[in-house]
Chains A and B, each alone.
Chain A
């Protein structure tokens, strides 16, 4: 009667799930927008020009446009499988009495020759892509400096989005590819599992991101600001309701690879950095030594940039963007292995196929295939004290 999977495999399966988001509907969209402070006066920066922040939210930027997914959400593996059989067979399988047979079949659809599965080896399956976002509005940044299709020697052609505020040229093919998945998109103003999961990892201290601004003369306009964007080994200090507590101290990691030094400028209360490769540590949580959970991966944001607005309450809100290797976008599901497919119902092969199709950066000169995908990430940060142990003169690897 039971599906016979070993206890260990269940565990792995669950590990793979990025957990759903429960952002208050009223704030989730606002938080992911670049909102230049309108008329509210911003305070003067500290005399030494140094401002520290702890990043409290860093996850795919969600925008739920009404016409985004006219054919419905991206299919689960069970739904995908049912589409592969003739209509009459589909009707038979959907009969309650045949539930067990259907389960065996669709779960078998997750596995290929030699025991490989669609989540660990999605590139070795040839499966159709999933439903993508058809709407024209999404969060994100103009990463290629182009408001057109952007087909070039380095880049691949893509449809730009317009930002909710009306800015043209937004590059966010990651959202285009993944934004119809239930676990990304969420419903009713609530972000999907991935948003909640990534936030949870920061709260639990599995990885910590900090920002240190130097040489700030004005929060409104400053042509030259240095931004240290780094990880810290220090866990988040949170209150009993799991909110980050402002004014906590964090020390920048020793590893220079995860200490990015960016050049920025402040225009009209918005800090924007020039495009630089950004690397940050990332843990897909839930780890232990024994199994494949808890693998450390990286945020690898090529030609990445930040666009963060100073808020009157002292926090920063805005977006990060960059071109991510497409594997990184499904790292969570890949690490989860077959469980991601059979427990969460992820069709990783379809996800991979879609990402490959939508990829718009770092064109491989030989295959002509783009290998990275433009990504928009929502980001918030609140004041903190940052100990920067690495000499300030060091420049991040280019």
Chain B
């Protein structure tokens, strides 16, 4: 049996019964061993729980990260996650705030939960989580059961359990002994019940009256801890955060800022940034990407797996590791490569195993996020490139400018005839297609951003020509014209829409709701982003600490689609 060396310290480990107190003064919140203080772990919630203002279903990654952090990475999570539906033009994280759990989905969660509980309670694993020995292994022992369930429940529910909850889970554990005759079997069932409970499967944000805004509410202390943790590190709150929540330090601006600042400086911000961009750039589509084996024999499963990872590595390296300017993400020549991707890029890969940094030569057409094969392949058809899909993705995902769907009765014959002798290039075919003014109206929005990328084929490999014809990479954006991917990257980097978009998305990602309609929140975030040199740390810090993000309007917030779309459609109006 393989023994894993845990990369992450597990939260719920009990070392003796005495634990080291981890003060907030510690400069490495994330690195010190996360051992609970006896007092904190075993305390119960002293006050009543507040009004629920949001229920956000854990994403698959958040679930997996939580289990790894709480029980250790050797506990396997096996099962299918009911996907969270992405609302049109929005983030999965906003979808999570409206997500329900179907019977089939709950069956999976139940089965996963029982499986995890069985692993945790198996010998010898359980010794790490138990600080007591039952008087009789075949009889109920409420005191010992509570000693295990109370601290674990605090991590799973992201707050101390209430007295009623403790009583309920301890009773479950005890009742089960009657059926299965084992104290540990009873604990396993109670733990499984916690894992299928809505308190675990949903990040429950609750609120308390806001003393600064009469009649309004603000997120309470433990909800703030969860907010910071899932936003910045994409995982469950650790001991330091739960203690800060207990001491109410997260309720005042300075305390909140201090904690957020420290978390943003941590390397674990990578997990948060990865999750954010995977959400913003619709990475779930990679799972369904299929390429025609005859047209693209070079595209194999290894390549498919490497494409999203390459993009995320590039993004995280530039934004987090190098602390780079977000705008430079569109012009940077630095990326990462592995052997599987070498043939696609036709470059020498210096390592036999794993990923290595790679820098394209100055002037190489391959630069910036849009020059990554993953982006180019994802926004292509299975057997050909698509300037329209690429242009649309740039508009919608990177500029936050939704593009209308094509009407239902379009004749695509001209665009699809990729072997046409008369019209050898995509530009020519699209021109023919756009002789219909109905089509042209939308293609004017998308194609000038997609056609500059035509020197990359449907899997994102370079091609000097199409059907033997030269490729014209002329493009236009916000009144400026340019050539090719390099020109497009520069145009993207210099557009305010680019930075506004990511700033708005970050707010939406943090709160599960769109910035307010007047746009003052966005403007404030954007201005702060600008003065901080468009650093992702500054942006994440801002959305993690801005008071607006924690304030709950007296009336329940409306669905967010309207706000985003309204703001964007005015921007769209600039383009004929």
Contacts and interface: CB of A to CB of B under 8 A. Distances in A.
Contact of B298 (A234, A245, A251, A387): A245
B342 A249 contact: yes
A247 interface: yes
10 contacts: A239-B297, A239-B298, A240-B293, A240-B297, A241-B293, A247-B343, A249-B339, A249-B349, A385-B348, A387-B348
Contacts of A239: 293, 297-298, 300
A237 B352 contact: no
A247 B342 contact: yes
A248 B343 contact: yes
A226 B388 CA distance: 49
Given A243-B297, A245-B298, A237 B349 contact: no
Interface string B325-356: 00000000000000110110011111110000
A385 B351 CA distance: 11
Nearest to B353: A234
B300 A387 contact: no
Interface string A361-398: 00000000000000000000000010100000000000
B343 A246 contact: yes
Contacts, number: 42
A385 B349 CA distance: 8
B297 A241 contact: yes
Given A247-B346, A385-B348, A237 B297 contact: no
Contact of B339 (A237, A241, A243, A246): A237
A233 interface: yes
Q: Would you list the 6 A-B pairs with minimal beta carbon distance, nearest first?
A: A385-B348, A249-B349, A239-B297, A247-B343, A247-B346, A249-B342
Nearest to A383: B346
Interface of B: 293, 297-298, 300, 302, 339-340, 342-343, 346-352
A237 B350 contact: no
A241 B294 CA distance: 10
Contacts of B346: 247
B348 A237 contact: no
Q: Is the interface of B mostly helix, strand, loop or mixed?
A: loop
Nearest to A386: B348
Given A234-B339, A247-B342, A248-B343, A240 B300 contact: yes
Contacts of B343: 237, 245-248
Contacts of B349: 249, 385
Nearest to B347: A385
Interface in A205-253: 233-234, 237-241, 243, 245-249, 251
Nearest to A233: B352
Q: Is the interface of A mostly helix, strand, loop or mixed?
A: loop
A69 B27 CA distance: 84
Contacts of A233: 352
Contacts of A238: 300
A233 B339 CA distance: 13
* Chain A contact patch, size range: 10 to 19
Nearest to A249: B349
Interface of A: 233-234, 237-241, 243, 245-249, 251, 385, 387
B348 A249 contact: yes
A174 B340 CA distance: 39
Contacts of A385: 342, 347-349
B359 to A, nearest CB: 16
A249 B347 CA distance: 8
The winner among B300, B340, B342, B346 for most chain A CB atoms within 10 A is B342
Contacts of A245: 297-298, 343
A251 B352 contact: yes
A247 B342 CA distance: 7
A37 B108 CA distance: 63
Nearest to A389: B350
Among A234, A247, A249, A387, the most chain B Cβ lie within 10 Å of the Cβ of: A249
A383 to B, nearest CB: 9
B300 to A, nearest CB: 6
Contacts of B302: 237
A210 to B, nearest CB: 12
Contacts of B352: 233-234, 251
Contacts of A241: 293, 297
A237 B347 contact: no
A248 B342 contact: yes
A238 B298 CA distance: 8
B47 to A, nearest CB: 61
Given A237-B343, A240-B297, A245-B298, 12 more contacts: A239-B293, A239-B297, A239-B300, A241-B293, A241-B297, A243-B297, A245-B343, A248-B343, A249-B342, A249-B348, A249-B350, A387-B348
A381 to B, nearest CB: 15
B514 to A, nearest CB: 44
B43 to A, nearest CB: 56
Contacts of A237: 302, 339-340, 342-343
A387 B350 contact: yes
A253 to B, nearest CB: 11
A237 B345 CA distance: 14
Contacts of B350: 249, 387
A385 B342 CA distance: 9
A289 B298 CA distance: 34
A38 to B, nearest CB: 24
Contacts of B348: 249, 385, 387
Nearest to A52: B348
Contacts of A240: 293, 297, 300
Nearest to A245: B343
A385 B352 CA distance: 12
A241 B348 CA distance: 23
Contacts of B340: 237
Contacts of A234: 339, 352
B297 A248 contact: no
Contacts of A246: 343
A234 B300 CA distance: 17
Nearest to A250: B352
B136 to A, nearest CB: 49
B158 to A, nearest CB: 46
A4 to B, nearest CB: 38
A237 B303 CA distance: 11
A239 B296 CA distance: 9
A171 to B, nearest CB: 38
A314 to B, nearest CB: 12
B299 to A, nearest CB: 8
Contacts of B339: 234, 237, 248-249
A183 B346 CA distance: 38
Contacts of A249: 339, 342, 348-350
A314 B511 CA distance: 56
Nearest to B338: A249
Contacts of B293: 239-241
Contacts of B342: 237, 247-249, 385
A387 B340 CA distance: 15
A243 B293 CA distance: 12
A385 B339 CA distance: 11
A219 to B, nearest CB: 19
Nearest to B339: A249
Contacts of B300: 238-240
A198 to B, nearest CB: 23
B119 to A, nearest CB: 32
A245 to B, nearest CB: 5
Nearest to A385: B348
A259 to B, nearest CB: 15
A1 B176 CA distance: 59
A204 to B, nearest CB: 15
- Select the residue from A233, A243, A387 with max chain B CB neighbours within 10 A: A387
B564 to A, nearest CB: 41
A251 B340 CA distance: 14
Contacts of B298: 239, 245
A241 B295 CA distance: 13
A245 B339 CA distance: 12
B298 to A, nearest CB: 5
Nearest to A248: B343
